[in-house]
C-alpha cells in the first residue's frame, strides 16, 4: 500500500496491461527537493521522503537511531530507497543502517521498495552495500520477479549480471520470464530475459504453465511472438489441465492478439508434423529432414525457372500456356505452405538469385557464345568471376557484427548501471544483444544481432550490409549490372545473327513477336536479365548517392529523425565531408596521394568526432511522488 504507485497498481491488477508512457517514464534521477525555507518542522521520516539532508543529519546527530522502525516496522532506509534519496541512503548506510531490514505490510526490504519503483541508482547503491536480491517478500517474490512484473528492464539485466539466476522461481514457481509475459505487453524485459538464457520450458507449481502459457492467457501478442520466434518456445508442453500452447492458440487463430507470424507458425507446426510423418515413412529416416527441406527450398527456384521457360517455349496455344503457368504457381504455393517455414522462406530471394545466374551461364554457353566474339565471352566470364567474389563476401562475410561474450555482457551492464539509468537508453544500449551500442550501429531484427555502421538487411544475399561488407556489396551490385548488361547485349547479338532480327528496321511490337518466335528460352532469360539490370542499377545509383553526397547509410537516411546527432546538425550527416572525400573514405582509396581517407573502426566507435555531443534518443519526464 505504501509503495505501490500508479504503475504498480496497474501491473498488480493481473493480466497483461499496456503500461502507458507516464509509467515507463519513471527514471532513477533523484527528485528535486521542494522549495522549503524552514525544514525545522519536518520529522525525520518526512525529511527523508523530501530529501532534506540537512534536517536528517541534524536529527541523526542528536541521537536518533537510524534503525528505528515506525508503527508499520518500516525503517528510514526504506523511505530513502523508495524515494531514491541516494545521498541520504549513503548517510544511513554509513551510520550502520540494516540494508536487509524487513518491514511494511509485505515484509519487504529497502531493495524491494527501490525495485518496485524502478530506481536503478538506489538498487545499485544497496547492492554495493551488501543487500541480498534473492530475499522474498510476503508474496513470495524476490527483487528480479518484481523488476519483471513492473517492466523495469534495466533492473532485470542488472540483477542477472550480479549473479541472480534468470530462472529463479518465486514461492509459486513463477520465473521472471513468466511474470514478464503475464504482466508486461512491451517487448522488454521478455526479449532481454531470453537473451540472458531464461528457460522457456520451465513450468510453475500451481498450474503447470510455461511462460508461453502465461503469455497466451494474458493475450500478450508481443510476448507470444517473441517466445515463439526468438525463443523457439515449445508449442507442445501440456499444463496440469492437459492444454498445450498449440491447442490454446489454435482456438484463437484470426483474433487480433494472435499475430500473423504466430498464426503462420501454428499452421506450420500442424502441417510440418504431417509432412514429417509422411517423409519419415517415405525415406525411413535415411536423410535428415531439415537438410532435405533446406535443399528443396534452394532447389525450387532452379526447377521453377526451367519449367516456366519450357512452358513458354512449347508449341501450344497461348491460353494453354497461361493455364499451365497458373498451375505451376498453385502447386509451388501449396508446396511452400506445406514444407517450408519462415526461416526457409527467408532463403527464397537468395535461391532465386542463384537460380537466375545459373541459367544465365547455361544460356550463354549453349546459345549466345557461338554467336558472339571470343573477347565478349572472355569479358563476360571475367566480370562474373569478380561478381562471385563480391557476392560471397557479401553473403558469407562478416558485416561487422558487434561481438560479445556472457562475461562482457555482464560487465557492460554493471558498468552502465553504475553510471546511471542514461546508460540504458536505446541509443547507447541494445537490450536484445546486451551490448553497448557503437555509433551508427543497429540491431537487425532478422539476424538478431547488432551490426556496426548498419546499412540494411539484404534478402538477396541473406545477410546484413554493414561496416565490413558494404564495399563488397557495392562491388556486387556493380558487377551484377555489368553481367546483366552483357546478357542483354549477347541476346541481341544472338537474335541478329541467328534470327536476322534488327530492332532498328522493325517496329517495337513486331520485334517482340519475332523474338518470341525465334527462340523463346533466350527471350525468357534476357527478360530476366533486363529486369535485373533496371532495378539493380537504380539500387546502385541510390547507394552511391547516399555514400558520396549524403554521407549516410540507408538506415540513417530513413530514420535520421530518430538520431540526435542528425537533428542537431539540421538533418545533415556529421560524418559527411565532400563527395569525393566521402568516396575516398568509403573505399579507402588514396588515388596516388590525392586523398587522405579517414579510417575508423565502427565496431568500437561510441562518440562523435566533430564536437556534437551525443544525447539519448528518448527523453523521459520526471514522474515522482513522495511516499
Catalytic residue list: 458
DSSP result, 333-380: HHHHHHH--HHHHTTHHHHHHHHHHHHHHHHIIIIIGGGS-HHHHHHH
C-alpha cell recorded at residue 176? 521472471
Distance between CA 385 and CA 379 in Å, rounded?
10
C-alpha cell at 152: 523495469
Cβ pair 487, 522 in contact under 8 A: no
* CB contact at 8 A, 155 and 118: yes
Is the bond into 189 cis (omega within 30 degrees of 0)?
yes
* Of 166, 170, 173, residue with least CA distance to 189: 166
What are 242-245's contacts with CB under 8 Å, separation 24+? Answer: 243/213, 245/210, 245/212, 245/213, 245/216
- All residues at 6 or more sequence positions from 133 whose CB lies less than 8 Å from its CB, including other chains: 111, 127, 142, 143, 144, 159, 162, 164
Spatial separation of the C-alpha atoms in residues 12 and 10, rounded to whole Å? 6
Cα–Cα distance for residue pair 522/528, rounded to 1 Å: 10
Total length of the chain: 627
In order, the DSSP letters of 461-473 are TTEEE-TTTHHHH
Amino acid at each position: 500500500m505504501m509503495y505501490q504507485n500508479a504503475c504498480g497498481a496497474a501491473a498488480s491488477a493481473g493480466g497483461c496491461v499496456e503500461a502507458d508512457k507516464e509509467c515507463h517514464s519513471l527514471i532513477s534521477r533523484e527528485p528535486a527537493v521542494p522549495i522549503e525555507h524552514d525544514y525545522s518542522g519536518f520529522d525525520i521520516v518526512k525529511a527523508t521522503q523530501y530529501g532534506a539532508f540537512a534536517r536528517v543529519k541534524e536529527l541523526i546527530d542528536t541521537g536518533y537511531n537510524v534503525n528505528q522502525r515506525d508503527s508499520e516496522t518500516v525503517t528510514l532506509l526504506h523511505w530513502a530507497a523508495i524515494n531514491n534519496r541516494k545521498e541520504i541512503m549513503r548517510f544511513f548506510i554509513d551510520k550502520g543502517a540494516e540494508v536487509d531490514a524487513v518491514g511494511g505490510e509485505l515484509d519487504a526490504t529497502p531493495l524491494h521498495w527501490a525495485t518496485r519503483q524502478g530506481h536503478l541508482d538506489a538498487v545499485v547503491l544497496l547492492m554495493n552495500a551488501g543487500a541480498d536480491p534473492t530475499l522474498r517478500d510476503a508474496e513470495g517474490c524476490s527483487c528480479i520477479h518484481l523488476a519483471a512484473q513492473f517492466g523495469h528492464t534495466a533492473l532485470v539485466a542488472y540483477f542477472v549480471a550480479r549473479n541472480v539466476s534468470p530462472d529463479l522461481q518465486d514461492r509459486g514457481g513463477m520465473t521472471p520470464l513468466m511474470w514478464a509475459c503475464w504482466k508486461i505487453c512491451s517487448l522488454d524485459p521478455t526479449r532481454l530475459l531470453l537473451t540472458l538464457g531464461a528457460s522457456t520450458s520451465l513450468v510453475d507449481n500451481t498450474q503447470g504453465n510455461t511462460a508461453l502459457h502465461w503469455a497466451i492467457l494474458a493475450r500478450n501478442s508481443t510476448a507470444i511472438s517473441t517466445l515463439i520466434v526468438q525463443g523457439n518456445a515449445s508449442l507442445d508442453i501440456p499444463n496440469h489441465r492437459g492444454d498445450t500452447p498449440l491447442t490454446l492458440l489454435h482456438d484463437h487463430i484470426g483474433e487480433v492478439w494472435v499475430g500473423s507470424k504466430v498464426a503462420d507458425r501454428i499452421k506450420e507446426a500442424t502441417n510440418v508434423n504431417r509432412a514429417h510423418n509422411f517423409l519419415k515413412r517415405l525415406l525411413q529416416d535415411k536423410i535428415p529432414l531439415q537438410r532435405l527441406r533446406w535443399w528443396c527450398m534452394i532447389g525450387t527456384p532452379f526447377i521453377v525457372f526451367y519449367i516456366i521457360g519450357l512452358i513458354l517455349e512449347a508449341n501450344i496455344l497461348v491460353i494453354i500456356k497461361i493455364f499451365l503457368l497458373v498451375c505451376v504457381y498453385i502447386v509451388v504455393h501449396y508446396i511452400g505452405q506445406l514444407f517450408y517455414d519462415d526461416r526457409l522462406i527467408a532463403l527464397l530471394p537468395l535461391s532465386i538469385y542463384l537460380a537466375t545466374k545459373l541459367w544465365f551461364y547455361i544460356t550463354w554457353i549453349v546459345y549466345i557464345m557461338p554467336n558472339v566474339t571470343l573477347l565478349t565471352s572472355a569479358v563476360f566470364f571475367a566480370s562474373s568471376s569478380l561478381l562471385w567474389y563480391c557476392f560471397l563476401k557479401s553473403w558469407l562475410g562478416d558485416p561487422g557484427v558487434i561481438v560479445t561474450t556472457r562475461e562482457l555482457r555482464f560487465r557492460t551492464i554493471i558498468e552502465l548501471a553504475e553510471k546511471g539509468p542514461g546508460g540504458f537508453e536505446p541509443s547507447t544500449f541494445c537490450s536484445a544483444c546486451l551490448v553497448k551500442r557503437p555509433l551508427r550501429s543497429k540491431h537487425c531484427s532478422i539476424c538478431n544481432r547488432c551490426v556496426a555502421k548498419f546499412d540494411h538487411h539484404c534478402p538477396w544475399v541473406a545477410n546484413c550490409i554493414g561496416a565490413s561488407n558494404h564495399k563488397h556489396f557495392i562491388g556486387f551490385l556493380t558487377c551484377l549490372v555489368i553481367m546483366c548488361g552483357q546478357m542483354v547485349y549477347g541476346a541481341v547479338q544472338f537474335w541478329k545473327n541467328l534470327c536476322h532480327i534488327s530492332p532498328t528496321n522493325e517496329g517495337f511490337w513486331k520485334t517482340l513477336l519475332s523474338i518470341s518466335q525465334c527462340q523463346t528460352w533466350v527471350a525468357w532469360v534476357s527478360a530476366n536479365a533486363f529486369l535485373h539490370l533496371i532495378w539493380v542499377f537504380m539500387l546502385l545509383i541510390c547507394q552511391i548517392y547516399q555514400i558520396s553526397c549524403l554521407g549516410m547509410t540507408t538506415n540513417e537516411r530513413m530514420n535520421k529523425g530518430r538520431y540526435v546527432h542528425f537533428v542537431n546538425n539540421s538533418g545533415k550527416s556529421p560524418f559527411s565531408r565532400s563527395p569525393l572525400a566521402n568516396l575516398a573514405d568509403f573505399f579507402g582509396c588514396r588515388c596516388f596521394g590525392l586523398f587522405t581517407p579517414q579510417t575508423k573502426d565502427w565496431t568500437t566507435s561510441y562518440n562523435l568526432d566533430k564536437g556534437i555531443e551525443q544525447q539519448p534518443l528518448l527523453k523521459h519526464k520526471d514522474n515522482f511522488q513522495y511516499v
